[in-house]
Amino acid sequence: MSKGHATAWAQLPVSLNQLCLATVLRCGQSFRWKASGPDEWSCGFSDRIISLRQSPTHLHYRATFPSPPPKSAKDDTAEIVKDYFNLSIDLAALYEKWSLADPNFKKKAGEFKGVRMLRQDPWECLIGFICSSNNNISRIGQMVDKLCATYGTPLGTITHTSTNPLSPSSPSSENKTPPTEVAYYSFPTIEALTTPDVEETLKKLGFGYRAKYIYKTACMVHKDRPKGFLNTLRDEKDYKEAHAELIQFMGVGPKVADCVCLMSLDKMGAVPVDTHVWQIATRDYKFGKGKHRSLTPVVYEAVGDLFRELWGDAAGWAHSVLFTADLRTFSDRLENTKTTTTTTVKSKTKVKVEVKEEEEDEKIKLEDVKVEEVEGEEVKTIEKRVRKRGANGEVKAEVVVKTEEVTERRTRRRRG
DNA sequence: TATCGACCTCA
DNA sequence: GAGGTCGAT
């Protein structure tokens, strides 16, 4: 039982190929779903808590309202759920298409069915991903919880029953944790995050430098944009336009903007390139063939283009499948097929090779990388030009620094 | 255009 | 050091 007014459980026909709840709700799209039971998930929406369960053939849902709804009101929770999970899109058909176009996708997809993009509220999505920089899913979740508890509206409580999978062998006794009442809140409105105290409060709550970003962005959206601005990016702007609008906000770079485009603005081709995706591109798709030492804006876009060419219009959706497969949380699923390649830098030697007096030779690249590979050992020679400057900033000399990096690669198969 | 240090906290 | 961004150079 929970405080509040819960509707009866209802269901929607949804196969596991179309949606895998346990994966989709934990793969870093939304940070607000809580496990409220062994196979139950709950999340606060604007005026109600929605709880979900899944069987092989159905998605079960129910709503818990803070106060009894008028008898006349008909429950629109089904509509909310269909919309939130983008259920009008046939995911299985997309998997077919991607598998045909890409053997690597096909290989990974078997263990990761039903990974679809949510269709979240753009404002919540924006703030959630501003929190995501230099951060991990679990802490982002904790931060968003605090944000909601502090600036959101209470929606009631849900009784959480044991989610501890530890001892299914003795269901009768010991290891059961007692049920607890957990409070749920709505996500704060835009306006709620524009009060002058917000930055300081969030700092105290452990948001770090993101506190300022959130406050500033809230102010920008609220004061400098027309009402409903973020939602208009869905229909009135295409992907590029929406992306350009989003990176105007404080704390929003290309990656965060792509997350918002993909997960809340119906831009299925948006591919957020974070360090994971960058790894996937270089490791599994040989992107750049060892060039590119950092993820500059140009390289960022090139990675997205690579995947868009490979997977087509809904590349962002496809990317999410491989991204999820790469997450530590789910790494056990690939145990049987996986080969892991670990690379360790064995040695690194820097040698200053020559000193040039004030030479302006545009032909020398600022950085030149040569790679040789011998029996699992990779020797990279990096030539980097470093300018020594005097007190006035004038170039006094240029030093070419050669770095030899010896990398050892070990590939091993885990039990299979 | 690309690179670099700083930024908050927690692991 | 992390599932990034900002501001300066």
Would the pLDDT of A358 be above 90? no
* Residue A415, pLDDT score: 29
Query: Which residue ranges does chain A devote to CATH 3.30.310.40?
Result: 1-102+155-165+178-185
Query: Which residue ranges does chain A devote to CATH 1.10.1670.10?
Result: 270-329
Would the pLDDT of A170 be above 90? no
Beta bridge partners of residue A5, listed in sequence order: A65
Instruction: Please provide residue A260's backbone torsions phi and psi, each rounded to the nearest 5 degrees.
Output: -65, -40
Three-state DSSP state, A325: helix
Considering chain A, what percentage of its residues have pLDDT values greater than 70? 76
As annotated, the active-site residues of A are 255
Encoded tokens for A100: 């045909």
Residue A275 Cβ under 7 A from any strand C atom:
yes
Q: CA A321, CA A326: separation in Å to the nearest integer?
A: 9
Mean predicted confidence (pLDDT) in A80-106 = 98
Q: CA A401, CA A117: separation in Å to the nearest integer?
A: 46
Contact A215, A198 (CB under 8 A): yes
Q: In the structure, how far is the CA atom of residue A391 from the C1' atom of nucleotide B11, in angstroms?
A: 42
Instruction: Please provide residue A321's backbone torsions phi and psi, each rounded to the nearest 5 degrees.
Output: -65, -50
Instruction: Please provide residue A222's backbone torsions phi and psi, each rounded to the nearest 5 degrees.
Output: -75, -45
* Residue A43, pLDDT score: 98
N-to-C CA span, chain A: 45
Residue A139 Cβ under 7 A from any strand C atom:
no
Mean predicted confidence (pLDDT) in A4-19 = 96
Encoded tokens for A35: 């496990």
Q: Which fold is adopted by the domain A270-329? A: Endonuclease Iii, domain 2 (1.10.1670)
Smallest CA–C1' separation from A295: which nucleotide? B2
Reported as a single tens digit per residue, the pLDDT across A342-354 is 444 444 444 443 3
* Residue A172, pLDDT score: 52
Smallest CA–C1' separation from A209: which nucleotide? B8
Domain covering A1-102+155-165+178-185 in this structure, CATH number: 3.30.310.40
Residue A276 Cβ under 7 A from any strand C atom:
yes
